[in-house]
Amino acid sequence: MAQVTFKNGPVTLVGNEVKVGDQAPDFTVLANDLSPVTLNDSEGKIRLFSVVPSLDTGVCDAQTRRFNEEAANLGDNVVIYTVSVDLPFAQKRWCGAAGIDAVQTVSDHRDLSFGEAYGVYIQELRLLTRAVFVVDANNKVTYVEYVPEATDHPNYEAAIAAVKALA
């Protein structure tokens, strides 16, 4: 299992660590209108999953804005999701205030389905750790980053390069 810290303290990740080459695990999260979202909803497209603890924090805010900006250069065959345990209503409000329109925020608050399937659920905090996953059109994982310190930024350039390599 990936080893991460949160504010320099060790935390326990629950679920299965995902590795490059794995079939992407399915999950059920909630869109901002409370409708279910699964991996198959974007089948046939390249997916980037940007996982954050909470949109209401500085690094998570910056990460989501960065991937929103990058989305304009990635084409229509790429879907970017930001996954957190924030409530769908809070995600919708935040996106409206931040002008986020190219990234789809989804909430894992109900079942922690994504968190457990991708091994990003922090047991001690009931939050998701910071991570990035790229999944190709055939549901194969092609890029994985579990950020070692959850309050640090991911490697944006590497994640975008992984998406562009598939496009």
One-letter amino acid of 47: R
Rounded Cα distance, 79 and 68, in Å? 10
Domain 2-163 matching CATH 3.40.30.10: the answer reads: yes
pLDDT at residue 152 in the model: 97
pLDDT in tens, 16-57: 999 999 999 999 999 999 999 999 999 999 999 999 999 999
1 pLDDT higher than 90 = no
Both structure tokens of 100: 């986020």
- Please give the positions annotated as active site: 60
108 pLDDT higher than 90 = yes
pTM of the predicted model as reported, rounded to 2 decimal places: 0.97
The domain locations on the chain are: 2-163
Rounded Cα distance, 85 and 70, in Å? 23
Mean pLDDT of 2-27: 96
Mean pLDDT of 89-111: 94
Name which of 93, 129, 124 is nearest 18 in CA terms: 129
